[in-house]
Amino acid sequence: MKALSIRGLTKTYRNGVQALSGIDLDVDEGDFFALLGPNGAGKTTTIGIIMSLVTKSGGAVSVFGHDIDRELDLAKSCIGLVPQEINFNQFEKVFTIIVNQAGFYGLPRRLALERAEKYLRQLQLWDRRDTIARSLSGGMKRRLMIARALVHEPRLLILDEPTAGVDIEIRRSMWSFLRSINAQGTTIILTTHYLEEAESLCRHIAIIDGGRIIVNDTMAGVIRKLAQETFVLNLREPIAEPPPLPGYAARMTDGHTLEVEVSKEQSLNDIFSRLSQGGIEVVSMRNKVNRLEELFMRLVESKGAAGAGRG
Amino acid sequence: MDAAAEGARTLARIRRVGFQTMMRREYGRIIRIWGQTLVPPAVTATLYFIIFGSLIGRRIGTMGGYDYMQYIAPGLIMMAIISNSYGNVVSSFFGAKFGKHIEEMLVAPLPNWLIVLGYVSGGVLRGLLVGVVVTIVTLFFTRIPVEHPLLVIASVLLTSVVFSLGGFFNAIFAKNFDQISWFPTFVLTPLIYLGGVFYSVSLLPSWAERLSYFNPILYMVNAFRHGFLGTSDVDLRFAFAVMAAFAAAMYAVVVTLMNRGTGIRE
């Protein structure tokens, strides 16, 4: 069954801005799905429409077979949302926020109390249950919103930039938690600016730009489309000029650091053997940017250039 | 089991528990900030009874066949109920909009008519609690008979529903805190004071008396006063019809605005 099915979704705001120009998207039950795009691409508008926070201009959305035009409340009962911005009552206690949200989804009081404890413990907030939410740290507030979204154990969890502004340790622990939730059967849709996060967690990906889906594939399939990667090589001894590497675009960023662009048809072995012949020793190597990020930037840039050409 | 029947059962449970949760939250809020919700009406009523009841009222004598203190008591109770029902909903709903936590309810499977009902019930609850507090204060100053208890209850409920809906309407359109104090200051308070709380409209010049009949609060105060004292400036059936019509029309308008997303959705 499709956890989410979107057909021909359009949105034009009152000021005339067309945020979505006809989106088609399917997310299978049990998937871990990334929805990526630059700022203003239409990600949050899409999520807003699914959650009825934004009124669509056209098209159809259904969640586990429940059309949002005909069965909005049943559709919403299947979803948990972790929004981009803090949107709980900052003057409430942590525990109260979770228990109230459980009530809004129809959980009887006793079950609401049990679930609130379960998810506050899982997200390491149980010790803070009596704290007024305003005084939590940024990372704790994010985790509180995840606990709140999970308290009714939704079949579909939508996270809109859940790790924005949290440190790497908390981000990694959130990843591990989300993986375990997904392994238990919850479908997850994630938007994020950290492309490493999407590559690490998600099995399918859609890239949205200018209100249109420009890529919709498996993560592996998308990565395979990456025709070229840039590697950063750290050299043991400094050199003044880039070594001769015919067929490769190479440049020095400083005496110890060489950047080389390598296409799919080329080989790293070839580069290493040429460098060895020149007496240049490489001590370490890394991708200049995350692979998905590279692809993302190329896609968005090429679309931008095509748009400029058209204009 | 039939999927449609199961869906209907699920929604019925969500709505029942959702409404209980809204009520529990509103009650918790009223009690938690009791210094802002329950104490000020008691202080205000005490001052009114001391100044208008004891000091000035003694020189006025009787009104409508009752001691002046007894005559103004129902009006003062109703005044507190009106302003607190209104104030509870306008501050609670606008606060939720301002702090964005209204989204907690908007993304939940709660229909708009139920969200409105939840907030309005919170306003009615505060109106009732404040009504009880002010009635207790009243009993320190005077004894008031209760001629028609059902009329007292019905007029309190209808009035607090109308003004809770008024608060909701104000909060939907308000964009800042100034805009939630504008209506109570410049419209509600004058209408309350000119609505026969402190006097019988029969004492007014005829043009002012006729004008007073356009003030809906006059009907509420008089219906309530009739419940206690058995005396009224207006026809009771007409008074209840006015209140019920206002309640039904305002509920329909507010739910329609919510469905259209006015003030809350893009």
The string of DSSP letters for B53-87 reads IIIIHHHH-EETTEEHHHHHHHHHHHHHHHHHHHH
- In a domain, residue A149? The reply is yes
What pairing do the DSSP bridges indicate for beta strands A228-235 and A282-287?
Answer: antiparallel
> Is the model's pLDDT at A309 over the cut of 60?
no
Greater confidence, A45 or A242? Answer: A45
- Is A305 domain-assigned? no
pLDDT at A92 exceeding the cut of 50? yes
CATH number of the domain within which A190 lies: 3.40.50.300
Which of B18, B101, B103 lies closest to A103 in CB terms?
A: B18
Q: Has residue A308 got a pLDDT over 60?
A: no
Mean pLDDT of A142-161: 95
Question: Do both A77 and A173 map to the same domain?
Answer: yes
The CA distance from B87 to the nearest CA of chain A, in Å, is 19
Question: Do A219 and A157 fall into the same domain?
Answer: yes
CA distances from B139 to B77, B83, B145, B225 (A): 11, 21, 11, 16
Segment B191-207 mean pLDDT? 87
What pLDDT shows up at residue A310? 37
Q: What percent of chain B has pLDDT over 90?
A: 69
Q: What average pLDDT does this structure show over A162-172? A: 81
Same domain, A204 and A283: no
Is A16 a member of any domain? yes
A154 domain residue, yes or no? yes
Residue A297 within a domain: no
pTM higher than 0.90, yes or no? Answer: no
Q: What is the ipTM of this complex?
A: 0.89
pLDDT digits (tens, 9 = 90+) for B79-111: 999 999 999 999 999 999 999 999 999 999 999
Task: State chain A's mean pLDDT as an integer.
Answer: 89
CA atoms within 13 A on the CB side of B33: 12
CB contact under 8 A, B100 and A54: no
State whether B7 and A71 contact (CB < 8 Å): yes
Q: Do residues A237 and A197 share a domain? A: no
Residue of A nearest to B16 (CA): A106
- How near does any CA of chain B get to the CA of A300, in Å? 27
Two tokens at A240? 């003044």
| Rounded average pLDDT over A4-17 | 94
Least confident among A54-63, B118-127, B206-215: B206-215
Query: And the tokens for A291?
Result: 């692979």
Number of structural domains in chain A: 2
pLDDT digits (tens, 9 = 90+) for A244-253: 888 888 888 8
> How confident is the model over B13-66, as pLDDT tens digits?
999 999 999 999 999 999 999 999 999 999 999 999 898 877 887 788 788 788
What is the spatial distance between Cα B111 and Cα B259, in angstroms, rounded to a whole number? 9
Give pLDDT tens digits for B253-266: 999 999 999 988 87
Domain residues for the domain of A94 are: 2-224
Residues A278, A195: one domain?
A: no
A83 and A220 belong to one structural domain: yes
* Cβ–Cβ below 8 Å for B14 and A77: yes
b/e A220-237 (16+ beta carbons within 10 angstroms → b): eebbeebeebebebebee
B-proximal residues of A, 143-182, CB under 8 Å: 148
Q: Taking a C-beta distance cutoff of 8 angstroms, is the pair B190, B218 a contact?
A: no
Chain B hits for A52, Cβ within 8 Å: 106-107, 265
> Which pLDDT value is given to residue A241?
84
Q: Does A17 touch chain B (CB under 8 A)?
A: no
A13/B25 CB distance under 8 A: no
- What mean pLDDT comes out for the span A78-99? 95
Kindly state whether residues A236 and A220 are assigned to the same domain.
no
